[in-house]
A and B are shown apart, each in its own frame.
Chain A
Amino acid sequence: MALRLAASPLALSRSTPSLRLASAMRSSSALNARVYFHASRSTASTAGQTSDDVTAAYQAVPYKTITPNQVHGSYHWDFERLLTISMIPLFAASAIHGAHPITDGLLGVVVPIHCHMGFDAMVTDYLHPGNTGKWGNKAVVWTLRGVTVLALVGCYQFNTTDIGLTELVKRSWTA
C-alpha cells in the first residue's frame, strides 16, 4: 500500500522548482481550509464544526435594541387622560366663578400641555421620519417643543402682568 505522496516534503526535494512551488501552494491551500465554492466536508468534521455553527454565522445583526422607557407607553397615556379630565372642572370654574389667579395659572399650564400633546400626535402621524427623514422629524419635534415653551412663558406673563386668561376671554367676547 504505497501512498502517492507527491506533495510531501520528501518528494518535493526531487521535483523542479516550478513544480515545487505549485505543489506547495496546493498543500498550503488545503491546510488553510479556504472556501472557494462550498465548505469542505472533511475540514468541517475534523474541526468539530456542526450545522448549528454554520447557521449561527449567518445570524442577522440586530439593527438597534430600544431600552424600555417609562415616558412612552401607558404612563404617557394616563398622563394625557388625567390632564384632559382636569380641564373639565377647570373650564367650568373659569366660566362660573370668573377670573382667579389659581384658575388662570392652572389654565396657563394645562392648556398648552394639552395642545402640545395633540400637536405631537399629529406630527407622529403626518410628519414621521418615513416621509420627512430622520432630521426633518427631529427638527419639527424640537420646534414644537420650543413653541410650547414660548406659549407657556406667554401665558405666565399674561397671567401675571396682564388681566389673566379668563378675564381676557370675558372682555373680548363681550367687547
Chain B
Amino acid sequence: MFAPRIAAPLRNIGRVQASAVARTAFAKTRVMAPVGIRILSTSQSSLKEVTVAPLIDQRKNRPLSPHLTIYQPQLTWYMSMFHRAFGGAVATGFYAGAVGYAVAPMIGMGFDAAAITSLIATVPVGAKIAAKFIIAYPFTFHSLNGIRHLAWDTTRFMSLKGVYQTGYVVLGLSTVSAVGLALI
C-alpha cells in the first residue's frame, strides 16, 4: 500500500547515471543518512557571545529606577549612609597623606611635617576654625557611630527605640565634640 520505507535518494534508481563527482557528493550528503535525520544543522548558535551579549547591551541602555531619592528619609539609613561616607572621606584623606609621604621623594615633592605645619600657619584664623570643623566632624561622627555599631554587635540597643535614642546621642555628641575640637 505505502511505498517501502527506504532511504529517499534510493528512489532515483533507474535514472540516468550522474557524473562521478556529483555522485560522490550526493552519496556523502544523502545516501549514508536514512530518513529522519537532519544532515545540516538548522539550530541557532548557542555561544554566549551571540545569544547573551545583545541582552547585556540592552540592559546598559535602560534607566535605573529611583531608589535613594524616593525612600522616606529616616534616621536609620541616613546615619548608616553618613557613617560610610564620612569614613571613606577620612580614610581618603589619611591615605592621601600617607601615600603622598611615601612617594614624595620619588617625585621630588617636599612633603614632610615641617612643610605641612608651615603651610597651615599661613591660613587665616577663621578659615582654620572652619576647616578644622569640616575635618573634625566626619571623624567624631564616624568614631561615635562606630561605637554605636559595636554596641549593636553585642546585641544592645537593637530595638527601634534603642536605635533612635543612640542615634540622637551620637548626633549630639559628635557635633559638640567637633565644635570643641575646632576651637582648640
Contact = CB atoms under 8 A, between A and B. Distances in A.
Interface of A: 18-19, 21-22, 25-26, 29, 34, 36-37, 81, 84-85, 88, 91, 111-112, 115, 118-119, 122, 147-148, 150-155, 157-158, 162-163, 167-168, 171-175
Given A29-B34, A158-B98, A172 B117 contact: yes
Contacts of A150: 98-99, 102-103
Nearest to A168: B113
Given A81-B153, A112-B98, A175-B118, 10 more contacts: A22-B7, A85-B150, A91-B143, A115-B91, A147-B99, A148-B95, A154-B100, A154-B102, A171-B117, A175-B117
Interface in B90-107: 91, 94-95, 97-103
A111 B103 CA distance: 19
Contacts of A115: 91, 94-95
A173 B91 contact: no
B95 A36 contact: no
A152 B37 CA distance: 68
Contacts of B181: 173
B52 interface: no
B10 A21 contact: yes
Contacts, number: 88
Given A26-B34, A174-B184, A84 B150 contact: yes
- Counting chain A CB atoms within 10 Å of each CB, the highest count among B10, B13, B113 belongs to B113
Q: Is the interface of A mostly helix, strand, loop or mixed?
A: helix
Interface residues of B, number: 37
Interface string B53-94: 000000000000000000000000000000010011001001
A70 B100 CA distance: 34
B36 A153 contact: no
A173 B99 contact: no
A173 B184 CA distance: 8
The 3 lowest CB-CB distance pairs between A and B, nearest first, are: A154-B102, A154-B98, A115-B91
Contacts of B10: 18, 21-22
Contacts of B150: 81, 84-85
Contacts of B18: none
Contacts of B7: 22, 25
17 contacts: A18-B10, A18-B13, A25-B34, A26-B34, A91-B143, A118-B87, A119-B91, A122-B88, A151-B102, A154-B101, A158-B98, A162-B112, A168-B113, A171-B117, A173-B184, A174-B184, A175-B120
